[in-house]
Amino acid sequence: MTSRIHYTKPSITELEVGYATDAARNGWGEHCYDYIHRFEALFREHLGVKYAIATSSCTGALHMGLSALGIGSGDEVILADTNWIASAAPITYLGATPVFVDVLSDSWCIAPERVEAAITPSTRAILAVHLYGNLCDMDRLLAIGEKYGIPVIEDAAEAIGSVYHSQRAGSIGKFGTFSFHGTKTLTTGEGGIFVSNDVELYEQVLTLSNHGRARSQVKQFWPDKIGYKYKMSNIQAAIGCGQMERIEDLIARKREIFYQYRELLADLPGLAMNPEPEGTTIGAWMPTVVFAPESDISREMLQAAFVAANIDARVFFYPLSGLPMFTPRQENRLAWDLPNRAINLPSYHDMSRADVNRVAAVIKALLHV
C-alpha cells in the first residue's frame, strides 16, 4: 500500500528542539518568562502591531479580548455561520449571544451585507474570521463598524501569512487573535496570542491574563479583579521563537504547496479553490476545494475516495447554527450547503510534489478527468 499522506503536521527542526531544551533546563525562577517575552516581541515585529500577549490558546485570547470590551449577558456578537466552534464559544462564556450570518460564495468568509442586516441595539462586536487563511472584506466590515459604532475583531487563527492591502491579517481590527495549535503554519504545540494597537485594551487584557493582577499593583498576590489563567508556558514560547525565526520560510512553503494544487486543478470544470483577490496575499493555511452543485460530488464521496487512496483529507466546517447547542439558521444557505460539497486538502510543509500530485489525482478521478 502507498504511504499515508497526513492532512497536516508541524515543521520542527533542531532550532526549535534546542530552544525548548534550553527552556526546560534553564527557564525557571527569574528566567521563567524569558522566551515568552522574546516570542511576543518577535510576533509584534512580524505583525506590525504595538502589543502582544502570548496565551495558552486562541480561544483564551479571544475570550479575554471580548471580556475586556465589556461584552456580557444580553449582548450580541455577529460572526459567520461557517466557522469552528472556537470562534463562537468565548462569546457564550461571557453570557452573550453569537448571531450567525451567511458567508460569501467566493471566500466563504462573513458576508458584510448580512452583517449590517443583523445589527440590533444589542450588537456589541463584529467578529471577522479569516477562514482557512482566506481574507474577510475588512474595508466593508470596518465601514459598517464605524457607521454603527461597533468594534470589528479579527479571529486570525488560520491566517498567519495572510495580508490585506499591505496590512497583515490580525493587525487591522480592534484586536486580533491567532492560534499556534499543532496543525497551524506556526506552532507552539498548543497556544495562541492576543494582539492590538490599543494600549487601554492591552492593559486590560494583560491584567485579565494574570488572574486579574494589574502590573501596577505593588502588593504581592493581590488581584484587582477576577481574571483568567490563559498563559503560554516558557517551553511552548521557546518552540515559538524557533518558529518565528523561520516564519517567512514556513509561510512561503505553505503558499508553494497551494500554488502547486492550483496549477494542477486550475482547468477542472465546476471546481473552486481559495481566492486571492487583487491587493491581497493568502497565507494558504488550508487549501480547499469546493465543487459546484451540478457536479453531484458529495462530502461522503470525497471522504471515501481519499480514504481509499490512503490520504487524510479534512471535511469543511459544518454550520455552527447546525450544532445541537445553537438554534438552526438554515436561511444561511451557503453556510449550510458548502460543507456538503467541499474538502480540505493536505498541506504540511514536508509534502513532496509527488504527494501533491497524488492528492490532485483523487480529485481528477472524481471528475473523470
Residues 6+ positions from 77 with CB-CB distance below 8 Å? 66, 71, 91, 96, 97, 98, 99, 123, 124, 125, 126, 127
Q: Is 184 a catalytic residue?
A: yes
C-alpha distance from residue 149 to each of 128, 157, 255 (Å): 16, 25, 36
Number of folded domains that form the chain? 2
- What integer pLDDT is reported at residue 142 of this predicted model? 98
Domain boundary among 245, 276, 291: 245
Q: Residue 149 is placed in which grid cell?
A: 459604532
**32 and 140 housed in the same domain:** yes
Domain assignment of residue 120, yes or no: yes
**323 and 201 housed in the same domain:** no
> pLDDT category, 267, cuts 50, 70, 90?
confident
Asked if residue 213 lies in contact with residue 205, where contact means CB atoms within 8 angstroms, the answer is no
Domain boundary among 245, 273, 307: 245
Asked if residue 93 lies in contact with residue 48, where contact means CB atoms within 8 angstroms, the answer is no
Output the domain CATH number for residue 280. 3.90.1150.10
Residue 361 CB neighbour total at 10 angstroms: 14
- What integer pLDDT is reported at residue 1 of this predicted model? 63
pLDDT, tens digit, 9 for 90 and up, residues 333-352: 999 999 999 999 999 999 99
Residue 254: HSE in the Cβ half-sphere, 13 Å Cα cutoff: 31
- What integer pLDDT is reported at residue 368 of this predicted model? 85
Domain assignment of residue 142, yes or no: yes
Give which of 318, 317, 297 is closest to 306, Cα–Cα: 297
Output the domain CATH number for residue 26. 3.40.640.10
Instruction: Tell whether the model's pLDDT for residue 53 goes beyond 80.
Output: yes
**165 and 198 housed in the same domain:** yes
**31 and 146 housed in the same domain:** yes
pTM of the model: 0.96
Mean pLDDT of 31-47: 98
Domain boundary among 245, 272, 298: 245
**253 and 220 housed in the same domain:** no
- What integer pLDDT is reported at residue 2 of this predicted model? 84
User: Pick the catalytic residue: 9, 50, 174, 184?
Assistant: 184
| Number of separate helices (H) and strands (E) present in the chain | 12, 14
pLDDT, tens digit, 9 for 90 and up, residues 60-107: 999 999 999 999 999 999 999 999 999 999 999 999 999 999 999 999
Residue 350 amino acid letter: D
Range of the domain at 280: 247-366
Mean pLDDT of 227-245: 97
Domain assignment of residue 8, yes or no: no
pLDDT, tens digit, 9 for 90 and up, residues 125-158: 999 999 999 999 999 999 999 999 999 999 999 9
Helix (H) or strand (E) holding 63: helix 58-68
**63 and 177 housed in the same domain:** yes
Domain assignment of residue 9, yes or no: no
Domain assignment of residue 6, yes or no: no
